[in-house]
Structure 1
């Protein structure tokens, strides 16, 4: 009776290679979108004028707020939340509060977000304020997201998860390379 080789049953090594291939393929699909975003925004960071990245709209406004919120000699009793929420509601301000500075005669409130900044200068004695708001375009928004500047914890998590995806894609690709005997050494050297 002739000696026929029977196909190997799927052992742990073969299953690991199969899982690595599956992981590499599907994470690569997600990671290519990440790489595309960061490569495009890398170009716009170096050349913002190519796509109108230097455009911005400056708005100035003035107003009055409740003087009782800001005219307290005890600076710990300044109504910070009321001041910020009043400005947000009245002027449709966006972004997170990055600074709330209290001086003897003035309060400065700064809100920042990707491609956005607003500064309010409030007179503590009268409650009068001057507001300056800067809105930048889509390219500036993408550039700020690329850098993670003023984009919050949620976007920071997205950047971290993207980095982990790219690490896993790289490692799974390296593992796949190690399973190909003919290409293993050449692939590791080059």
Structure 2
């Protein structure tokens, strides 16, 4: 390992660069680990925004039968009415209604159109900033880019941890508590899992 690191930089360089790259992410995941662990004790007051509207007859007539794609005019009207761009990939279209789930970090939402009456119902629930960051921690409804970030962040954390371990190996002779503390860091969670989590 030492010869590999020497080829691409010193051990300390790898350690400080990986620590700099994962600092913000590690703080985020550490703090949200605490908030997730105490989610039942943190009071949340979700706010719910509801919109009811009537779809124009001319647009409703374009929805006489389910198809592969929603007509462009209908999509534009729905997005203009709710005031945001929508992701139509999970649209459910039956003979009775259009239904679009709109999950997101820190909240939820949905849109439905009754195909008989043309009634549009749109609801968005916001559970607050703590719920938002907790969902980022879990990767819940965050999309593919955030998923890639979490994977990349995990790789950088592994580099940070392994270079830290290698630095411990090199410095162990000068610090008598190096291995007892390292062993405790490994044994405490293992013992808790084996003895108290069933």
Q: TM-score, with normalisation over the residues of structure 2?
A: 0.73
* Partners of 2:144 and 2:10 in 1: CA distance: 32
Do residues 99 (structure 1) and 90 (structure 2) align? yes
Residue 157 (structure 1) aligned to one of 148, 153, 166 = 148
Do residues 67 (structure 1) and 57 (structure 2) align? no
Q: Which has the higher strand share?
A: 1
Q: 1:145 to 1:13 in 2, by over 3 A?
A: closer
Q: TM-score, with normalisation over the residues of structure 1?
A: 0.75
How far residue 19 of structure 1 moved from its aligned partner, in angstroms, is 1.4
* Partners of 1:164 and 1:86 in 2: CA distance: 44
Do residues 56 (structure 1) and 46 (structure 2) align? yes
Name the structure 2 match of 1:39.
Answer: 30
Q: Name the stretch that deviates more: 85-94 or 180-189.
A: 180-189
> Matched residue of 2:10: which SS?
helix
- Conserved 8 A contact 2:22-2:156: yes
> Matched residue of 1:112: which SS?
coil
How far residue 89 of structure 1 moved from its aligned partner, in angstroms, is 2.6
Name the structure 2 match of 1:20.
Answer: 11
Number of matched pairs: 176
Structure possessing the higher radius of gyration over alpha carbons: 1
- Conserved 8 A contact 1:62-1:130: yes
How far residue 152 of structure 1 moved from its aligned partner, in angstroms, is 0.6
How far residue 13 of structure 1 moved from its aligned partner, in angstroms, is 8.5
Q: 1:61 to 1:17 in 2, by over 3 A?
A: closer
Aligned-residue CA RMSD in angstroms?
3.2
Uncovered stretches (5+) of structure 2, i.e. residues with no partner? 184-198
Name the structure 2 match of 1:87.
Answer: 78
* Partners of 2:38 and 2:71 in 1: CA distance: 40
How far residue 46 of structure 1 moved from its aligned partner, in angstroms, is 2.5
How far residue 81 of structure 1 moved from its aligned partner, in angstroms, is 5.7
How far residue 59 of structure 1 moved from its aligned partner, in angstroms, is 1.6
* Partners of 2:7 and 2:164 in 1: CA distance: 13
Q: Which has the higher helix share?
A: 2
